[in-house]
Amino acid sequence: MRVLGIETTCDETAAAVVRLEPGGAGEILSNEVMSQIAEHAAYGGVVPEIAARAHVEVLDRLVARALERAGTALSDLDGIAAAAGPGLIGGVIVGLTTGKALALASRKPFVAVNHLEAHALTARLTDGVEFPFLLLLVSGGHTQLVAVRGVGDYLRLGSTVDDAVGEAFDKVAKTLGLPYPGGPEIERRAEEGDPTRFAFPRPMLGRARPDFSLSGLKTAVRIEAQRIASPTRGDVADLCASFQAAVVDSLIDRSRAGLRLFRERVGEANAMVAAGGAAANGAIRRALARFCGEAGLKLVLPPPQLCSDNAAMIAWAGIERLSLGLSDDMTFAARARWPLDADAEAAHHGKA
Ligand code: KG4
Ligand code: ZN
C-alpha cells in the first residue's frame, strides 16, 4: 500500500509518500517539507493569512516533487491523505481541498487525517510500537498526555491549562528578543548557559492529575529578564538554560503522574512515546530517557524531523486508517478545532 500525505495546518507545507510493507512496517519513500519560517519571522509568529497564501503557492510543486522522489505516479497510489485539522483554517482548507481534488481525479480513496492523531501514530511508523502506549504530545498548539489504545481510540489523561510547551518556548524567546521559532533558538542558547542561576517555578509539581501549566513560568522569566537592565549574551543563555530546566522538570513530573494514571485506567503501557515539535528538544529527550529508564518503560522518540510537522506522519495515519477500512468522502469539512479523545469531541459537539 502506498499513500500520499499532505500537511498544511500551520507554517509548514509538506507532502510525502509512505509505503506499508507486507510485514506491517512503514517505509518513507519521500518526505518534502517547506518551512515558511522566513515569511513569518518579521512578525514574531505565524500570520494565518500569510500561511494560507504560502501553502497555495508551493503545494502543487511540493506534491509533484514528493511523487517524483518516491518514483510513484498518481495512478500507483492506494490512497490520498490530507490533514483536515486542527489548525489554522485557511491553511487546512488548502491542503484538504488539494487532497480531495487529487483523490477525485485519480479515483483513489481519500482520508481526512487528524493532525494530532498523525503525531500520535508516528512512533508506529518509525518503530512499530504496539498499542497501548503513553503519548506525551508537546507541540506549538498542544500539550497533552494521552493513552493511545488504538487507531481512533484515545484517552486524554491530562493537558495544559494555559500555554502549550512550544508556545511557551516561542513566547519566552520573544521576551528575550530571540527570533521565531523560539524552541530551537532557546535550546541553542541554553547550551552555553547555567540552568541553576535562576530558580524558576516548576508548575503543578507533585499534583496527582497530570495537567500542565506554563504561563506562570513564562511570566517568571519575563520578570527576571526585565530586572536585568541590559542583559548580556551570558545572561540570556542563563535565562534560557534555567527556563528549559524548569520545563524539563515539569514535563517529567507530569509524565510520572500520567504514567500512574495510565496504569490505573488502562493497565501496563508498551512504551512511552513523545511527539510534536518540542519533542525535538535534546534536553527533553535526555530527561525522558532517564525517566523511562527508571520507570522500566521503553521509550520511543521519533527522529527530530518527524517530531515537528511533516507529511510522512499524515500519510502513515492514512495508511493506518485505510488498513482498517476507514476512509472519508468529499463532504469532510476542515476543522480549526478537533480534539483527539471521544469525551472532548462529544463535549465539543454538545456545545456546537
Ligand atoms: O509540532 P510542531 O512542528 O507544530 C505544531 O503542530 O504546533 O511544533 C512547533 C513548535 C514550536 O512552538 C517550536 O518552537 C517548538 O515546536 N519547537 C521546539 C523545538 N523545536 C521546535 N521547542 C523546544 N525545543 C526545540 N528544539
Ligand atoms: Zn504539529
pLDDT tens digits, 193-205: 999 999 999 999 9
Edge to edge, the sheet with strand 79-85 lists 26-35, 12-20, 2-7, 79-85, 110-114
349 pLDDT band (50/70/90 cuts)?
A: low
Pair type for strands 299-300 and 2-7: unpaired
Please work out whether the CB of residue 210 comes within 6 Å of at least one atom of ligand 1: no
- Site to substitute for ligand 1 among 12, 139, 172, most atoms within 8 A of C-beta: 139
Say which DSSP state 301 is in. Answer: -
Would you say the CB of residue 281 lies under 6 angstroms from ligand 1? yes
Q: What cell does 119 get? A: 503525531
> CB under 8 Å to 333, separation ≥6 — which residues?
84
* Structure letter (DSSP) for residue 277: G
Name the closest-CA residue to atom 14, ligand 1: 183
Spatial distance between the Cα atoms of 16 and 7, rounded to a whole number of angstroms? 9
Model pLDDT, residue 348 = 64
CA distances from 333 to 17, 85, 111, 330, 337 (A): 23, 9, 12, 8, 11
In this model, does residue 285 exceed pLDDT 80?
A: yes
The predicted pLDDT at position 304 comes to 94
Residues 26-51 have a mean pLDDT of 89
Distance 142 CA to ligand 1 centre (A): 10
Cβ atoms of 45 and 131 closer than 8 Å:
no
Q: Hey, which residues does 328 pair with through a beta bridge?
A: 110
How many Å lie between the centroid of ligand 2 and the Cα of residue 231?
Answer: 33
Q: 185 CB under 6 A from ligand 1? A: no
- How are beta strands 133-138 and 143-150 bridged, if at all? antiparallel
Ligand 1 neighbour 95 (Cβ under 6 A): no
Please enumerate in sequence order all residues whose Cβ is within 8 A of that of 297, keeping only pairs 6 or more positions apart, or say none. Answer: 134, 259, 269, 271, 272
pLDDT band per the 50, 70, 90 thresholds, residue 350: low
Among 113, 115, 163, 169, the mutation site with the greatest number of ligand 1 atoms within 8 A of its Cβ is 169
Query: Which numbered ligand comes closest to the C-alpha of 164?
Result: 1
Cis? peptide before 86, omega within 30° of 0: yes
C-alpha cell at 234: 551570558
Return the closest-CA partner of residue 18 out of 102, 110, 122, 103: 122
Ligand 2 centroid to 230 CA: how many Å? Answer: 35
Name the residue among 288, 331, 270 with its Cα closest to residue 129: 270
Helices (H) and strands (E) in the chain, counts: 12, 10
What pLDDT sits at residue 38?
Answer: 84
- Residue 351: band (very low, low, confident or very high) from pLDDT cuts 50, 70, 90: very low
- Taking the CA of residue 307 as reference, the ligand 1 atom at the shortest distance is 1
Q: Among 35, 308, 309, which is best to mutate for testing ligand 1, by the most ligand atoms less than 8 A from CB?
A: 308
pLDDT average, residue stretch 223-240: 96
| Strands, sheet with 272-275, edge to edge from the N-terminal-most edge strand | 153-159, 143-150, 133-138, 272-275, 299-300
Query: Rounded to an integer, what distance in angstroms lies between the CA atom of residue 178 and that of residue 171?
Result: 10
Long-range CB contacts (within 8 A, 24+) of 20-27: 20/319, 20/323, 24/128, 25/128, 26/124, 26/125, 26/126, 26/316, 26/319
Q: What is the pLDDT of residue 344?
A: 75
User: Three-state DSSP class for 65?
Assistant: helix
Give 123: exposed, middle or buried? Use CB within 10 Å, 0-12, 13-18, 19+: buried
Lowest-pLDDT choice from 39-48, 110-119, 330-339: 39-48
Instruction: Give me the residue label for grid cell 497510489.
Output: 77
Express each pLDDT in 251-267 by its tens digit.
999 999 999 999 999 99
**Residue at 88: amino acid letter:** L
Q: Which residue has the cell 500507483?
A: 76
Residue written as grid cell 501496563: 268
Band of the pLDDT at 352, cuts 50, 70, 90?
Answer: very low
Helix (H, G, I), strand (E, B) or coil at 229: coil
Whether 184 is in the pocket of ligand 1, judged by its Cβ within 6 Å, is yes
d(CA 172, CA 230): 16
